[in-house]
């Protein structure tokens, strides 16, 4: 089973690769659409701005093969910016169209606490799911972000976090999962999450 991490030139590839390998996974890193299309599982990581992320995906002509990957029922995992790009619209530096796999928008965080949100915070699961098996609710994960995802459908929310406001930090829709945190930097809970994804 091939697990592919997409290199769209705005990614923390090294730490994601090391984390997956540490739980026994074999990972390929590629930006070639033929290899993305052939992969059994795909991870879309990312750091930086929504607009730049979408521009890079367009330039690499990866949007159609990502949508086809989902239509074929294959697992897709978005991490941090990668989660945000799964949504219909991002509102960073104006409005930018996302991949559009999950209905909803990505908006700047609200509240009195410092932004960006950097550091360890808890995630509370909203329901049981295979990707969160053996990870207790309220486990700590590592976050670095200024924008949050707001799904249109409450049932797409798999986990929530409180930082100035309560926001959706984990989403799941059919064979799509998104985590606003960085599992690859979140010690044992993050490694367990990645190991669970490898079983999908």
Supply angle C-alpha 195, 180, 151, rounded to 5: 115
Domain range for 72 is 3-198
> CA-to-CA distance for 95 and 17, rounded, in angstroms?
32
Query: Of 193, 144, 187, which Cα lies nearest the Cα of 15?
Result: 187
Q: In what order do the strands lie in the sheet with 41-44?
A: 27-30, 3-6, 41-44, 76-79, 176-179, 166-173, 157-162, 117-125, 139-145
The whole-number pLDDT of residue 111 equals 86
pLDDT digits (tens, 9 = 90+) for 110-129: 989 999 999 999 999 999 99
Q: Is 182 a catalytic residue?
A: yes
Q: Which is more confidently placed, 145 or 10?
A: 145
- For the chain, what percentages of helix, strand and coil (3-state, to nearest 5) are there? 30, 35, 35
Please report, for the domain that includes residue 156, its CATH number. 3.40.50.880
Q: Is 149 a catalytic residue?
A: no
Q: Choosing from 11, 92, 117, 184, which is the catalytic residue?
A: 184
Span 164-175, average pLDDT: 97
The whole-number pLDDT of residue 12 equals 76
Q: Please state whether the peptide bond connecting residue 116 to the residue before it is cis, i.e. omega within 30 degrees of 0.
A: yes
Q: Choosing from 80, 92, 149, 181, which is the catalytic residue?
A: 80
pTM of the model: 0.96
The whole-number pLDDT of residue 70 equals 95
Q: Is 11 a catalytic residue?
A: no
The whole-number pLDDT of residue 183 equals 97
Instruction: Domain count for the chain, please give it.
Output: 1
């Amino acid at each position: 089973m091939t697990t592919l991490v997409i290199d769209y030139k705005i990614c923390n590839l090294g730490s994601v690769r090391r984390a997956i390998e540490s739980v026994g996974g074999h990972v390929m890193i590629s930006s070639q659409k033929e290899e993305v299309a052939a992969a059994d599982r795909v991870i879309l990581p990312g750091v930086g701005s929504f607009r730049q992320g979408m521009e890079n995906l367009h330039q690499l002509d990866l949007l159609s093969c990502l949508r086809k990957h989902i239509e074929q029922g294959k697992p897709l995992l978005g991490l941090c910016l990668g989660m945000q790009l799964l949504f219909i619209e991002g509102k960073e530096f104006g409005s930018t169209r996302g991949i559009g796999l999950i209905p909803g928008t990505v908006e700047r965080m609200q509240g009195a606490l410092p932004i960006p949100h950097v550091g360890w915070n808890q995630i509370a699961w909203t329901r049981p799911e295979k990707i969160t098996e053996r990870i207790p609710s309220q486990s700590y994960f590592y976050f670095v972000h200024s924008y949050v995802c707001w799904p249109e459908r409450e049932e797409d929310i798999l986990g929530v976090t409180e930082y100035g406001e309560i926001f959706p930090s984990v989403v799941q829709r059919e064979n799509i999962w998104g985590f606003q945190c960085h599992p690859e930097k979140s010690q044992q809970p993050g490694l367990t999450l990645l190991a669970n994804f490898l079983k999908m």
